[in-house]
Amino acid sequence: MDSDALSRLTPWLADHIAGFQGPVAVEKFASGQSNPTFRLTTPGADYVLRRKPPGQLLKSAHAVDREFRVQKALADTDVPVARVLALCDDDSILGAMFYVMEHVPGRVILDPSLPGATPDQRGAHMAEMNRILAAIHEVDLAACGLSDYGPPGDYYVRQLARWTKQYRASETGALPEMDRLILWLESNLPEEDGQRCLVHGDYRIDNLLFAREAPEIRAVLDWELSTLGHPFADLAGVIMQWQLPPGEEGRGLAGLDRAALGLPDDAAFLASYFDRRGIDPPDSFGFYLAFAFFRMAAILQGVKKRALDGSASNPEKGRRLGAFVPRFAELGLEAADAR
């Protein structure tokens, strides 16, 4: 953020945030490929600002206004979120829509294997992750004012159409694996079962802010993809992430001895979730997992396209992440075959 932008931002903050006092020091977070995110440090308090990225954007993408709305609605629920303070739709301030929220102290865990933790500590973190996911799906939509937060109709029909369109709009070359995965998903859509709830859209351990010294989630982050839909989309997203290579790059658990580490296997995590919510598991989880891989491939393709166009928050990382698109498509096909 340059000095001219900061000179416009500072008076806006003073006008819209109670108790705000400058001066402001701005630091860009390294994470956040979709919406650039900044820490604002002032003498009295720290804040976090998330804005839309620059450049030509895909329709309905980077919806920071939806992030603002859902976090405001969840403020008094069992779902921990940062308190949002102000939304700006005046592009003359920073060149794009943005919002400001409180800075919540805590730690972001990038590696789900939790290096350095004990088996008991790992299990406790995963249990907390499971608990908060169930809490998101149990939110009373009417009481929170979120009954209209997503369109009606079959969630997977809608999402498959949306992400196929997004993927086609950001294609940078032919990818037969992705074409085959899309065709399989279109031919194997599950029957509508009546489940409709708030879904986060990108629920994984690195989008959770934990307390510094305890396995307690202080805030669920990055609500850009949230909507009303089917809870198994979030659940499959967790399982999808764990199929990836371990470490801070892949952020998965593939090949690790989870039992020795104190981490639940896929079946145990799923069973715990179904038990918490008092619902029956589906006959097969294959479609949901295949869809999760497809959607992430489409998201990463968009990241790659923005990196090539020069509008990514971190172009180098964007290109690196974009290289994983074929692998995600292959893993989606594997999940389909294993159904």
Q: What distance in Å separates the CA atoms of residue 292 and residue 75, rounded to the nearest whole number?
A: 28
**Cβ distance 128 to 198 under 8 Å?**
no
Q: What distance in Å separates the CA atoms of residue 55 and residue 319, rounded to the nearest whole number?
A: 17
What's the pLDDT score for residue 63? Answer: 84
What's the pLDDT score for residue 339? Answer: 61
Residue 187 carries which side chain, given as an amino acid letter? S
- For 170, counting Cβ atoms within 10 Å of its Cβ (0-12 exposed, 13-18 middle, 19+ buried), the class is buried
In the numeric block, which tokens belong to residue 43?
């003498």
What's the pLDDT score for residue 316? Answer: 77
Q: What distance in Å separates the CA atoms of residue 74 and residue 102, rounded to the nearest whole number?
A: 14
In the numeric block, which tokens belong to residue 308?
């090539």
What's the pLDDT score for residue 314? Answer: 73
Q: Please list the pLDDT of the chain residue by residue as tens digits (339 residues).
A: 788 889 999 999 999 999 999 899 999 987 655 688 999 999 999 999 999 886 555 555 568 999 999 999 999 999 999 999 999 999 999 999 999 999 999 999 999 999 999 999 999 999 999 999 999 999 999 999 999 999 988 999 999 999 999 999 999 889 999 999 999 999 999 999 999 999 999 999 999 999 999 999 999 999 999 999 999 999 999 999 999 999 877 899 999 999 999 999 999 999 999 999 999 999 899 999 999 999 999 999 988 888 888 776 677 777 787 788 999 999 999 999 876
What's the pLDDT score for residue 59? Answer: 52
DSSP secondary structure code for residue 255 in this structure: T
CB neighbour burial string for 243-262, b if at least 16 within 10 angstroms, e if fewer: bbebeeebbbbeeeebeebb
In the numeric block, which tokens belong to residue 315?
């172009």
Q: What distance in Å separates the CA atoms of residue 129 and residue 134, rounded to the nearest whole number?
A: 9
DSSP secondary structure code for residue 246 in this structure: S
Compute the chain's Rg from CA coordinates.
20
